[in-house]
Amino acid sequence: MKSHLRLASCAAVLFLAVIGCKFAQPSPPSPSVFDSGRTAYGFFPTSPDVNFLSVLSTFHAIGEHGDVVLIQPPVPWDDFRNGIDGKSKGLDDIHNQVNLAWYNGLDAIFVVDHLNGLNRREFAGLPPDLAGADFSNPVVRAAFQNFALRIAKDFHPRYLGLASEINTYADAFPHDFPNFLSLYRETYQKIKAESPDTQVFVTFQWEDINNYDVTGAGRGATTKWEEIEAFEPDLDLWAISSYPFVAFSSAADIPDDYYSPLLERTKKPLAVAEGGFGSVYMPPAHGTPQDQVLYLNSIHDQIGKRLAFWIYLVLDDFNMDSYQSALQSQGQGDKVNTLSFFSVLGLRTRNGTPKPALAVWDSFRR
């Protein structure tokens, strides 16, 4: 649901590459929040506008309300099809984002995302010679694995995800899911050899796992635990995304046991790798400021004590005019309507004015 949100963070990386030589190389936060024994709170580094000043301001603001950023890069297929050591602008962009995070006292979590953020049922950015390929293709497998291993080698991150909302892909392409699963297992072992302390995972879309859809249909249906447990034992934590506004007309309708079944299904750490609730009704997505408060409380009260990290999608609402221009320049103008559902999920308005949910978020973090 979020490759569209890479637009803003990418707006700053060229600027950083130009000015980077003027600054001392930053160091990661010490001590790390990951060693604190508490939940790490954070956001995607998505700014209200698609320009570098907005991005710089956003990283600073996240440093005031969070501990981490979640960096979710697409796979630079061409750059990594032949090995892990090649040059890559995509990788340079990641280094610049990590530097921005470190400058602001933030650690980084990584999720490699091969899917289109606005269509979780298709690959993103495959070069022409790989058009229509899937995870049975040896070039696709090699590029994906090499890129993940390069991230492990360069950053030795505490948390590295190898897919986002992978169950949506499993639902759409059950014939190819076993191919991804075998690639995941191979890559998991190689990451552990390169960076033994890195915790490896994939994320699962919680509403889909529970058979909810935009009409609320599926309530009471059997949870598709098999789509998560297929990754065991090579799953270091269970991470979900959750956008319950697609299923409920109000966050008050979120059941008291909506998230809590995770506590009994696994003894491993849990994580919310993305999610949110809108503060404005934007059909068909429901939302009010109070819904945001109730959404945060639902997660906190049901599974908060087990969360290794909790990523809320965006700190600030974003300017659809700015994003529309960026999407159109990339030939993705048809994605504007889908993106607009997420433009009002921020815990602050576009100008940084706090919404009621921000105080709730900050209280949890404290």
Domains (ranges, CATH) in the chain?
A: 3-365 (3.20.20.80)
Between residues 323 and 98, the one the model is more confident about: 98
State mean pLDDT over 243-254.
93
CA end-to-end span of the chain: 29
User: Above pLDDT 90, what percent of the chain?
Assistant: 76
State mean pLDDT over 330-338.
60
User: Above pLDDT 70, what percent of the chain?
Assistant: 87
Residue 53 has pLDDT above 80, yes or no: yes
Distance separating alpha carbons of residues 68 and 32, to the nearest angstrom: 10
Residue 335 has pLDDT above 60, yes or no: no
pTM: 0.92
Res. 23 pLDDT band, cuts 50 70 90:
low
pLDDT tens-digit series, residues 197-215? 999 999 999 999 999 865 5
Average pLDDT value for the chain: 89
CA-CA-CA-CA dihedral for 27, 31, 33, 36, to nearest 10: 170
State mean pLDDT over 134-152.
97
R_g of the chain computed on alpha carbons: 19
pLDDT the model gives residue 322: 82
pLDDT the model gives residue 341: 77
Res. 220 pLDDT band, cuts 50 70 90:
low
State mean pLDDT over 152-159.
98
Between residues 2 and 316, the one the model is more confident about: 316
State mean pLDDT over 303-321.
95
pLDDT tens-digit series, residues 116-134? 877 777 888 999 999 999 9
Residues listed for the chain: 366
CA-CA-CA-CA dihedral for 118, 123, 124, 128, to nearest 10: -140
Res. 24 pLDDT band, cuts 50 70 90:
low
Residue 4 has pLDDT above 70, yes or no: no
Least confident of 9-18, 36-45, 222-231, 311-320: 9-18
Residue 290 has pLDDT above 80, yes or no: yes
Residue 72 has pLDDT above 70, yes or no: yes
Least confident of 219-223, 293-297, 302-306: 219-223
pLDDT the model gives residue 21: 41
Residue 219 has pLDDT above 70, yes or no: no
Residue 364 has pLDDT above 50, yes or no: yes
- Could you tell me where the beta strands, DSSP code E, fall in the chain? 40-43, 68-71, 107-111, 115-116, 119-123, 159-161, 199-201, 203-205, 238-242, 270-275, 307-312
pLDDT the model gives residue 76: 96
pLDDT the model gives residue 11: 43
